[in-house]
């Protein structure tokens, strides 16, 4: 019989609530012969306050033993900005070489968008996850003086860019429209921008069926609002990808339905799946959070591990649930989770 050995990190704030629903739906959708084993980890603000630790080498060793990781959200106003971001989330993404940060955007039927009309939105952003300005390469001199100087160096390697660009081409090739857009800023960032553009054009030769396109990141924010249907697959650097995927979420149903995967395609380390939203301390503990983003992240997790039909069933269930919400009173986190678990089982 098969097994799924999952590391679960509920984290802070609404992370706890939404992860519980994600696991509920996962248990409901898995075939009988797949044995689900979960191990919960207590990372986050509480552990940081109690021990001063965010993520140790021993933690990484323990996480490594799993097929995948499901994360709720990490972050709390009681912890200074940057401590958990760098000390936990980015540390984990870097340690497990999660270089493909996959963020699909699909506007599902009946879901509200701030955009005029009901545009077709169905694209996926492949955000580089281990390089760019996220590497922590920089420094400050003359700190606190009027002459303080801060640098934040963006690191781009031919190896790192090529592997994520190739992954994005393969994803575009597998989709019906077969279109890949490179988003960068090569008119100003002429060093990194040219590296990205050259690598993109070189890898394109291996994928003659994929139509290619280049857009500067500022212009991309316009098109995401005025003509999101033009996008199929987007590949971009870590910071541009961070910014445009929040915008992408905002136009395609909001942060309540935006899912993501931090993927290590080789399988050398477990991949991690998480909603794009944060811990939302303002609504934590009230049962108000929409678990759909986490449930859709579980679908990405299942697809990554080869459980395609179960992933598709979860996506169909979320889609049907969202379509039925129109005009009805809001339900609690748990009620939505229950309804989704019933749908995927039935």
Q: Catalogue the active-site residues.
A: 134, 185, 218, 242, 246
Among 242, 274, 290, 321, binds Mn ion (CB under 5 A): 242
Site stretch for ligand IPM (CB under 6 A), options 83-91, 110-118, 173-181, 193-201: 83-91
Q: How far is the CB of 325 from ligand IPM (least distance, A)?
A: 26
Nearer to Mn ion, 17 or 242 (CB): 242
Interacting positions 225-264 with ligand IPM (CB under 6 A): 242
Residues 6+ apart with CB under 8 A from 145: none
**Which residues on neighbouring strands pair with residue 100, listed in sequence order?**
128, 263
Q: Is 281 in the site for ligand IPM (CB under 6 A)?
A: no
CA 272 to the chain's CA centroid = 9
Say if residue 143 is exposed, middle or buried (CB neighbours under 10 Å; 0-12, 13-18, 19+). Answer: exposed
Report the residue from 45, 89, 195, 217 that binds ligand IPM according to the rule CB under 6 A. 89
CB distance 129 to 262 below 8 Å:
yes
- Using CB under 6 A, which of 90, 107, 192, 248 touches ligand IPM? 90
Binding residue for ligand IPM (CB under 6 A) from 67, 85, 334, 338? 85
CB distance 257 to 318 below 8 Å: yes
Are 307 and 26 contacting, i.e. CB atoms less than 8 angstroms apart? no
Q: Is 246 annotated as a binding residue?
A: yes
CA distance 295 to 339: 12
Contacted by 164, from ligand IPM, Mn ion, none: CB < 5 to 8 Å by type: none
Is the CB of residue 236 less than 8 Å from the CB of residue 125?
A: yes
Q: Which parts of the chain are beta strand (E)?
A: 2-11, 34-40, 68-73, 100-106, 122-128, 138-141, 149-152, 179-184, 211-216, 233-236, 259-263, 271-275
Question: CB-wise, 59 or 242, nearer to Mn ion?
Answer: 242
Adjacent-strand bridge partners of 64: none
How many residues line the site for ligand IPM (CB under 6 A)?
Answer: 4
User: DSSP state, 174?
Assistant: T
Q: Considering the complex, what minimum distance in angstroms separates the CB of residue 7 from ligand IPM?
A: 18
Is 285 marked as binding a ligand? yes
Q: Which is nearer to ligand IPM, 249 or 305 (CB)?
A: 249
230 is in an annotated binding site: no
90 binds, among Mn ion, ligand IPM, none (CB under 5 to 8 A by kind): ligand IPM
Which part of the chain contacts ligand IPM (CB under 6 A), choosing from 31-39, 84-92, 114-122, 297-305?
Answer: 84-92
Distance CA 288, CA 279 (A): 12
Three-state DSSP at 86 gives helix
Query: Other CB atoms closer than 10 Å to residue 49's CB: what's the count?
Result: 11
- Binding partner of residue 67 among Mn ion, ligand IPM, none, CB under 5 to 8 Å per kind? none
Q: Tell whether residue 283 is among the known ligand binding residues.
A: yes
Give the shortest CB-127-to-ligand IPM separation in angstroms. Answer: 8
Q: Residue 308: helix, strand or coil by DSSP? A: helix
- 288 is known to lie in a ligand binding site: yes
- Taking the complex as a whole, the smallest distance from the CB of residue 293 to ligand IPM amounts, in Å, to 12
290 binding partner (options ligand IPM, Mn ion, none; Cβ < 5 to 8 Å by kind) = none
* 244 in a labelled binding site: no
Q: Which residues contact 52 (CB under 8 A, 6 or more apart)?
A: none
Which residues are near Mn ion by CB under 5 A? 242
Binding-site residues for substrate sit at 93, 103, 127, 218
Extract the annotated binding site for NAD(+). 278-290
- Give the residue numbers of the binding site for Mg(2+): 218, 242, 246
Chain residues that interact with ligand IPM, rule: CB under 6 A: 85, 89-90, 242
């Amino acid at each position: 019989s098969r097994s799924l050995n999952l590391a679960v990190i509920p984290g802070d704030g609404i992370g706890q609530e939404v992860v519980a629903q994600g696991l509920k739906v996962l248990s409901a959708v898995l075939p009988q012969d797949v044995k689900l084993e979960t191990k919960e980890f207590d990372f986050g603000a509480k552990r940081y306050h109690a021990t001063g630790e965010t993520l140790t080498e021993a933690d990484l060793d323990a996480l490594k033993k799993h097929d995948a990781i499901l994360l709720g959200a990490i972050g709390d106003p009681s912890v200074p900005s940057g401590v958990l971001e760098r000390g936990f989330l980015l540390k984990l993404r870097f340690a497990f070489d999660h270089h493909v940060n996959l963020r699909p955007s699909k506007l599902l039927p009946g879901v509200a968008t701030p955009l005029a009309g009901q545009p077709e939105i169905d694209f996926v952003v492949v955000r580089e996850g281990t390089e760019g300005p996220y590497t922590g390469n920089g420094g400050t001199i003359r700190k606190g003086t009027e002459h303080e100087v801060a640098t934040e160096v963006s690191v781009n390697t031919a190896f790192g860019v090529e592997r994520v660009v190739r992954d994005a081409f393969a994803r575009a090739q597998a989709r019906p429209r077969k279109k890949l857009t490179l988003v960068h800023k090569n008119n100003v960032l002429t060093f990194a921008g040219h590296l990205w553009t050259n690598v993109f054009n070189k890898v394109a030769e291996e994928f003659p069926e994929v139509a290619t396109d280049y857009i500067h990141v500022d212009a991309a924010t316009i098109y995401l609002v005025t003509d999101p249907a033009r996008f199929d697959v987007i590949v971009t650097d870590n910071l541009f990808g961070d910014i445009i995927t929040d915008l992408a979420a905002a136009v395609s149903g909001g942060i309540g339905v935006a899912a993501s995967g931090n993927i290590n395609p080789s399988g050398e380390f477990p991949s991690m799946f998480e909603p794009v939203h944060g811990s939302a301390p303002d609504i934590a503990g009230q049962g108000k959070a929409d678990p759909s983003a986490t449930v859709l992240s579980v679908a990405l997790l299942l697809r990554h591990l080869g459980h395609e039909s179960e992933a598709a069933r979860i996506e169909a269930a979320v889609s049907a649930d969202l379509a039925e919400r129109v005009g009805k009173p809001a339900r609690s986190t748990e009620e939505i989770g229950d309804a989704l678990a019933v749908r995927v089982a039935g």
